[in-house]
Amino acid sequence: MKKIDSCIAWHEHKIKRRDREKLKNQRGCVLWLTGLSGCGKSTIANMLEETLNKKGSHTYLLDGDNIRHGLSRGLGFSDEDRMENIKRVAEAAKLFVDAGIIVIASFISPLRKHRQAAKEIIGADDFVEIFIDSPFCECVKRDVKGWYKKALNGEIENYTGVDSPYEKPENPDVHLNMEETAAEEAVKMIITVLNNLWIFL
């Protein structure tokens, strides 16, 4: 019997990515926000989308917690499950890019191999890595959900930054030092990068 994969063909469509981008007056891309829990990713992601929306840009925000209610429901936090989560998100983001959408992806994505996998799936030309860099002690202070406290007390396992590693990006496209940068200024810095990358046609 033939494998199912061998029976699946790729269908070319008349309307291409470039056609969709022309209608939106922008290039599709993925803005991948990475950093520890509590570093400010969600705050910046929301402010960034609001700013882009006011500019008339077409966006979609993929949030780590929200994704686990649907697309990645059932996945845990083992290294294998984290990788599978990132791969699913990257494949979904790639479809949005083909539609000409600016995707804001807010995910801890703790290991470099996770972020590299996402970059390879999405494509290097469409992937902008943004490191939201906040000290661990500040992230713990902002922990309104109390997860760090539980992890530090040994009540939960595999928590990034406590008993599970976070590997800082070595050469991100945007490095935001949140000890020195307010969220509003961080958003402005990201918008400047987008302008330099000719995201807006």
Q: How many Å from the N-terminal Cα to the C-terminal Cα in the chain? A: 49
What is the distance between the alpha carbons of residues 113 and 148, in angstroms, rounded to a whole number?
Answer: 24
Rg of the chain over all Cα atoms, to the nearest angstrom: 18
Q: Is 107 exposed, middle or buried (0-12, 13-18, 19+ CB in 10 A)?
A: buried
Q: Which residues are catalytic?
A: 109
What is the distance between the alpha carbons of residues 190 and 175, in angstroms, rounded to a whole number?
Answer: 10
